[in-house]
Chains A and B, each alone.
Chain A
Amino acid sequence: MVPLSWYLILSGILFSLGVLGFLLKRNIITIFMSIELMLNAVNLSFVAFANYWNTHPVADKSIVPLSGQVFVFFVMVVAAAEAAVGLAIIISVFRTRETLNVDRVNLLKL
């Protein structure tokens, strides 16, 4: 038996580390990986709440506990699509600028 708040605190720590990486890192690929870390942290909250509502039934029948895990599935699909497009953008930025440092990439134009 683990308190639900432990899982939520772990999720919060991972999310905060993701935001810090997003703000402090200067390599565009590492910044992108920080975004993936934040998505993972949110997924942990979803799964923890799915388990919680499964063991604590509520009167409201419109709450389906397992839908938390289905949302994780959708988040993963969106993350995969985002990774494909984002890495293609990174490749095309690198092709014109020869750098991965975000401080040297200050125009949206390719």
Chain B
Amino acid sequence: MVHQVLFIVFGLICVAGAINLLVQRHPISSALSLVVVMASLALIYLLLGAEFVAAIQVIVYAGAIMVLFVFVIMLLNAGAEERTRGSRIALFVGVPGVVVLAGTVGWMLVSGSGRLGTVSISSSNFGETHNIAHLLFRDFLLPFEITSVLILIAIMGAVVLGKREN
């Protein structure tokens, strides 16, 4: 019962933040509502027994990545969004497509929810850092090393793109 109430509260905060991201015209308001979405997702991860993921959600996503976004918005002195027409294909094909896709997936999930079973707050220290580290540094060692190369390439790309040409 407590689990359900907590899920509904944080889920509603998540959806409200995501809708606010779409409604706001100023990018800084959108960025702050995205921080709200990410913080409440971290609490939902805690409900799912994923302590490590919840921690890095707050530190990496809500901390590092969103600070980078806010920093760029302030650096470029971005004002409110201009109202221009935009792409007609996006409006008349994309939006109905999204609605159809969301409706189909939602209908399948609602009609099949009896077969899917339930999720409970686990007491088995399932998602603690120790277990994830074991899996990450043993079974997923090669992908882990490849992501470090990816990060290196991304840093070099960002430096090259950000360099002012003389």
Contacts and interface: CB of A to CB of B under 8 A. Distances in A.
Contacts of A14: 14-15, 18, 37
Interface string A77-102: 11111111101111110110000111
Interface of A: 1-10, 12-21, 23-27, 29-30, 32-34, 36-37, 40, 43-44, 47-48, 50-52, 54-56, 64-67, 69-70, 72-74, 76-85, 87-92, 94-95, 100-104
Interface string B109-141: 110110011111010101100011001100110
Contact of A9 (B37, B109, B119): B109
A52 B157 CA distance: 39
A49 B76 CA distance: 40
Task: Give the interface size bracket for B toward A.
Answer: 35 or more
Interface of B: 3-4, 7, 11, 14-15, 18-19, 21-22, 27, 30-31, 34, 37-38, 41, 44-45, 47-50, 52-53, 56-57, 60-61, 64-65, 68-69, 72-73, 75-76, 78, 81-86, 90-91, 94-95, 98-99, 101-102, 105-106, 109-110, 112-113, 116-120, 122, 124, 126-127, 131-132, 135-136, 139-140, 143, 147, 150-151, 153-155, 157-159, 161-162, 164
